[in-house]
Every structure is written in structure tokens, then in C-alpha cells.
Structure 1
Amino acid sequence: MRRWLFTLLPLVGIAAAYLLVWPIPIEARAWVVKPDAGYTGAHAVNTGLAHLQTLDLGGEEGPEHVQVGPGGRLYATVASGKVLVLNPDGGKPQVFADTQGRVLGFDFDAAGNMIAADALRGLLRIDPEGKVSVLADQMGGAPILYADAVVVSRAAGANERVYVSDASRRFGAKDWGGTFEASVLDILEQAATGRVLVHDVVTGKTEEVVRGLSFANGVTLSADEQTLFVAETGRYRIWAVPAAARNLDLSQGPVGGAKVLIDNLPGYPDNLMRGLNGRIWVGLTKPRSAVVDRMAAQPLLREMTLRLPRALWPIPKAYGHVFAFTEDGQVVVDLQDPTGAYPETTAVTETPDRLYVQSLHARMLGWMPRPESLR
């Protein structure tokens, strides 16, 4: 027994030392998390998203952002860096452009150019012929590390402005293993370095709207373009921010007219997409994890977790979930698939006939007929 203990104790010591001091890239911060209300109230469990029909992506995967573009065709960004274009009812997709990066969000300007947030390259313009150019890849001499989502102001006219989220100033997708890996690092750390920028296309000037967000993600504008809605993925909430704001620091809470519009969601919010009849759609890519929530006040435990093999990370289970809300924060539609058959739902593209469901990793584009209740 004694010999066995002499053998075991050094091994335990080595394992403890590894879990405590092995170098990792994050410096985890404590934060206060509200108790998870779970799938209750407006988010009561349902199967409204189950049994989606699908459109072929020609062997590509990850239709992270989908939008109807000029000519009524669907444009979809995929993991390879390509932007696909396909007919609304399917058919063989064509390659519209290849950014050699990873576009996570885009919008169209008044001239029909695609304005794209590329996590590896920054804010891009893709002309109607598919030619790619860089609009902005830095601000004030510092790089835009993780361009994530974008919305173009329609009301600005000649002074058209572009709002783009820079999800993390600590972990860029280019240097930290890709978009998913970098997002995990940022959310585990909780340093809240995410921000939203505004780019003036005419002057070329880029300014900061807000900072202090835990993984700044989806962005969209109100109908009158006076309010910017922002998904803060790492803290389960959606903000409403004055579109004219500049240099607001939200790390300590609402300031300068910004407010938390929807709080304490049952999952991680991703893209924000304007739908029909005033709706704004958002997807929850994963449900919350009780283990992760318990570690909110335990930064050391989060750092130790990162030293474990990836298979032991507390990654939440697959769960399909999208919902729509109004500009005053009322949830009006909620669609779920508890089986998670269609993975990592990021948002919905709503047309008069269909709902197209976006995804981080799906190999097909999911869709369903637009429910009669939405007509």
C-alpha cells in the first residue's frame, strides 16, 4: 500500500500542477449571472422548429448568414469563405464570391454591393460582380480582430453608414483556431472586450459606438434607424443602443441611453435579422449550461477547464431555437427543436412564403413554410 501511495502522490501532484499553472491564453474574470429561468414563459418548450426541409449547399457547410439579395435570390455565407447564391426553392448553388476568409454577416447597400463582416479580414465590400475589397480592417491603428455582424443604414443617403460588431479585442478568429474556438476563449474569459463600430463609407472614418460587451454579435437597426440592437452572446442578452452614440462603455451596465432590451435568455444569442411586420429574429446557438453558469463567479475553475481535453469541456447540448421579438422587447414567436437535429441555429431569414434557418455548422440550409400565424 505504501509503495502504491508513493507512486500515486507524485502523479496527483503533477496533475494538480498542470491544472493550476499550465499556460493558457485566457485570464478569466468573475461576473454575476442571473438564475436561469429555463424554457418557461415565452420560451416554453415546443417543437415548432422540428422536421425542417432542406436546400442543398453543394457540399459546403455552415450557412451562418442568409439574406435575400438583388433579384430575389438567396445569398448564404459558408465556412469555406465562399458566398453562395441560390434560388429560393433550391437548385444547384453558385459561387458569388470567395473572400478567402469567413463571412459571418452581411447586408446590401443602396448600390447593390454586399457589405460583409469577415472574421478573418475585417469589413469588406463585394460588388455585384463578386469582386472583393477591404473597407476597414482597423480603427485608430488597432486591428478589427473579429468582424462578426453588419447592418447598413438606409436613411443616411449620401452619408451611408455601416455598423459592424467586433466580437472580441482579445481573441481574433485568424490567430486562435477559427471562429468557434476564438468565441469559446472570449466567453470563458469574460473580459468583455467586444464592441460595435460605425464606418462612414464616404469619409472612410471608423468610430466606436459601444464597447464593454462579452462577445458582441448580431446587430440590426430599428425601423426609424435611431436605435441599434446588439446581441451580447456571452451574457445571454440583447441591447438597445442609440445609433448616434459614440464611445459608450457598457462594461458596468447601461449608460448614455443604452439599455438591456431582453435579458437572461435560455441560450446564447447570435445573429439579429429584421423580418416582416416589425419582427426581429434571433437564434440561440446553444442552450445555457448549469455548469458554465456555476463557474461565472469562479474564474480559476474556468481556467482549469481550458486545460482539460476538449472532449471534457462543458459544451452545451445541441438544441434548435429561434425566436422573434418586437422593437420594445416583446417575444412574439418562439420555435424550438429539442432534438437539435439542425445544429447551432443562428437566426431566421423571413420571406412572405418561407422561414430560412441559419446555422453555424449545418451541411444544408434548413427551411419551413412560413406559418399562417405570421401572415
Structure 2
Amino acid sequence: MPVSNNPPLSRGPPLALALKITVFALLAAAVVVYKLDPFDPAALPAEELSGEPASVAACNGRVLQAADRIGVGELAAAEDFAYDSELGLVYTGDGDGWLKRVRLNDSTVEKWAFTGGRPLGVALGADGDVFIADADKGLLKASKEGVVEVLTEEDDGVKFRLTDGVDVGEDGTVYFTDASSKYAFHSFIFDFFEGRPYGRFLSYNPTTKETKLLVGDLHFGNGVVVAPTQDFVIFCETPLRRCRKYYISGDRKGSVEKFVENLPGTPDNIRYDGDGHYWIGLSTEMTGSSSYWHIALKYPVLRKIMAIMEKYGQRPNLEKNGGVVAVNLEGEQVAWYYDYKWTLVTAGIKIGNHLYSGSLALPGILRLDLDKFPATAAGCPWSKSHDL
């Protein structure tokens, strides 16, 4: 058979060229998707994002290794807590629409009141009633018998889309937040991505049944707690890492001032322990200008990319080091309990010598013995002796 001197026919471009063509095509497609997507994020207030997290005096960064969990299998995603010291139980909302009661002596979990929505913030009233900020249904009240009624669903014709935090004053006034007037609970992440102030802080008078807007234009208004002095209410804004005071009596009535800012993470619910400290759930860490979320919040273009990725289920998990921070009456951060794999932490409450905490990412309620596993200066990430 004669041998051909012709070179073999090419079977296509070399592999390197094929890869370049593929990458170019993917980039071109990504640019087209970005340009065509109507999502339009806004710039967040630069002055609110510039502050570095304040150093906390003591930390425990190994919470998951030391704590136990109660109610696993019966609580899928415990949210806020309301503690009834007389009955020795806590109320918490779960993702299945039930307000549940957890007995602390034996960790028994009971389905108590069904809202049919997504109960988030909870607060105990003077007569044993429980007030519920239900993300889907609005501000609710459950009687001592577990009968649920809707108190208010809107203000000035604007419906609540994500009723979030709640607390009750000694005079019976209910204070609560609507985190977003645009996004519902299942899509709350897009409120963060968009960066516009859709949140509200409101009050409800059970006698007159009046709903009143107290502070508008909040960036995801979240946790609420009435001060033990009953002269102001604290409300938190999640992406801005701060909680502020709203005065409800005295010469400063109706005014707003800072309480705590530059938190080491994004705040959710806030609770007072009756012993000089507020406890704030931090859904994810934001401890420096190099953290992913800190960078994303500063640049709208990055938040649009993240929003597009979220729509297609491709956004990477950026949440880490969630936890609970204790703040004294002067707004000073005194102790931070966290863990690298502990994320989407919603609340913390100190009862006796234990810290109880809920999370949207971990089932059950986390319980940490604060005497056995205290926060220490050496446990803080900025400590030279801290083992990362």
C-alpha cells in the first residue's frame, strides 16, 4: 500500500483554543444575562459601612464543640424566644407555621398555636398572651389557650410583607418591625441585594387598635426589645450592623439615637436577660473590610451578580461565624459566642447560666453552659493567642 505524504486531516482546533472559545462564550453569555436582568441594586450609605467592627472584650469561637442541642427532630428552624419564668418554658416560632413551647426542665417540645404562616419574633404579654410577628400574616396574638388572632396587617395602606421583630411595653403597647414592604420571607435575601430601605418600625395600641409608623426607611428592620427602664425601644437594622434607640417617653420622646454599632456580624433578634445585658443573634460574621459580605454591601454591581446567581441557585455560601453577642446597658459589646459553621443564627437568650440560641440552618435549640464554657479574651480572633 502506498504511503501518503499528505498531513493528517485536522480534527478541530487545539484543546487550548477550544477552552478559550468556551470561556469567551460563557463570559459573553454572563454579560448578556447581567445586562438584560432588570434587578437594580442601590448603593448603601457609605458612612454606615465604613466602620470596622468594634473589638469585643471576650469571645468563645468554639460554641458548636461545647454546646448541646435540644428539640432536634421537633424544631426545624427555631427563631426568636420568649421566656415564661413562671411556667419554665420558652416560646419559639418554627418553619412549619407552629408556635411551639419548649419546657426547659426536660426539653419537651409542644406544638401550641398554629399561625398558618411563618412565626418569627415572639413576646410575652402581661396576661400570658403571646404576641407574634408572623412574616406572612402580620402582627398576631395568641391567647393563653393558643387561639390566634390577627391584630394588624398594614399601615397607611401599605401591607406588611415581612413582619419580623416584636416586644411589648409594660403599658401594653406592642412594638414591632416590618423588615421589608417589598420582599417576603422566602425571598428576603433580595432585600439585602437591592439595598433600598423598605423596612419600618411601628407600634400597635391594643386598646385603640391603632397602628402607627414610628421610624421608616430602615434597611431590613429586625429585632425589637423594650428597655427595662421603659423609656426607649431598641430596634436593629441587619445589613448596617447596628441597633438604635427610639425614645417613647421623656424629653427625647420620638427621637432616635444609636445604641450599638459596628457589630461583628449582621444582627437579627435582640433580647434582654433581666440581668444587665442584651443578647443579639448574629446571622453571619462581618468582621472586616475583607469579608465577602462587607465587600458585597459596598458595591451594587457585586450584589446584582449575587442576585442573579441566587435566582439560578448558583450563589456560593458566604455565611460563616454566626453567633450571639452580649451587650451591656451602655451599648458596649462584652462577649461574643460564635463558631465557623454556625450560620443564620436568629436569636440568643440567657436563662440562668445557659445561653439558648436558634438558627435557620441548624435544627433544634442550641444550649451552652456559660459557666463551663465562658467567653475569654484569648478566644477572640484578634487575640495573638487565639488558635484559628
TM-score normalised by L of structure 2: 0.82
What residue is the counterpart of 1:19 in the other structure?
Answer: 34
Structure ID, larger Rg: 2
The partner residue of 1:208 within 205, 213, 224 is 213
The reply to whether residue 74 of structure 1 matches residue 74 of structure 2 is: no
Is 1:49–1:321's contact at 8 Å kept on the other side of the alignment? Answer: no
- What per-residue deviation string (whole Å, max 9, x for no partner) do you get for residues 73-93 of structure 1? 222211111111122033442
The reply to whether residue 89 of structure 1 matches residue 91 of structure 2 is: no
The reply to whether residue 110 of structure 1 matches residue 111 of structure 2 is: no
Residues 11 and 129 of structure 1: is their aligned pair in 2 closer, same or farther, counting only changes over 3 Å?
Answer: same
Structure-to-structure mapping, 1:183-262, within 5 angstroms: 184-243=189-248, 257-262=255-260
What residue is the counterpart of 2:115 in the other structure?
Answer: 99
Residues 66 and 202 of structure 1: is their aligned pair in 2 closer, same or farther, counting only changes over 3 Å?
Answer: same
What residue is the counterpart of 1:346 in the other structure?
Answer: 346
- Please, which moves more after superposition, 203-212 or 322-331? 322-331
Is 2:56–2:336's contact at 8 Å kept on the other side of the alignment? Answer: no
Shift of 1:102: 0.8
Is 2:241–2:265's contact at 8 Å kept on the other side of the alignment? Answer: yes
Shift of 1:325: 1.0
In 2, Cα distance between equivalents of 1:282 and 1:258: 19
Residues 89 and 29 of structure 1: is their aligned pair in 2 closer, same or farther, counting only changes over 3 Å?
Answer: same
What residue is the counterpart of 1:170 in the other structure?
Answer: 182
Shift of 1:260: 2.0
Is 2:324–2:348's contact at 8 Å kept on the other side of the alignment? Answer: yes
Is 1:58–1:92's contact at 8 Å kept on the other side of the alignment? Answer: no
- Please, which moves more after superposition, 345-354 or 129-138? 345-354
In 2, Cα distance between equivalents of 1:233 and 1:91: 30
Is 1:349–1:358's contact at 8 Å kept on the other side of the alignment? Answer: no
What residue is the counterpart of 2:149 in the other structure?
Answer: 133
Is 1:292–1:314's contact at 8 Å kept on the other side of the alignment? Answer: no
In 2, Cα distance between equivalents of 1:217 and 1:40: 23
3-state SS in 1 of match to 2:57: helix
The partner residue of 2:276 within 267, 278, 282 is 278
In 2, Cα distance between equivalents of 1:198 and 1:121: 16
In 1, Cα distance between equivalents of 2:278 and 2:148: 29
Counterpart residue identity of residue 274, structure 1: Y
Shift of 1:323: 1.5
What count of residue pairs does the alignment treat as equivalent? Answer: 352
Residues 328 and 58 of structure 1: is their aligned pair in 2 closer, same or farther, counting only changes over 3 Å?
Answer: same
Counterpart residue identity of residue 267, structure 1: G
What residue is the counterpart of 1:249 in the other structure?
Answer: none
TM-score normalised by L of structure 1: 0.84
- Please, which moves more after superposition, 326-335 or 213-222? 326-335
3-state SS in 1 of match to 2:305: helix
Structure 2 gaps, min length 5: 1-12, 376-388
What residue is the counterpart of 1:334 in the other structure?
Answer: 336
3-state SS in 2 of match to 1:71: coil
The reply to whether residue 122 of structure 1 matches residue 160 of structure 2 is: no
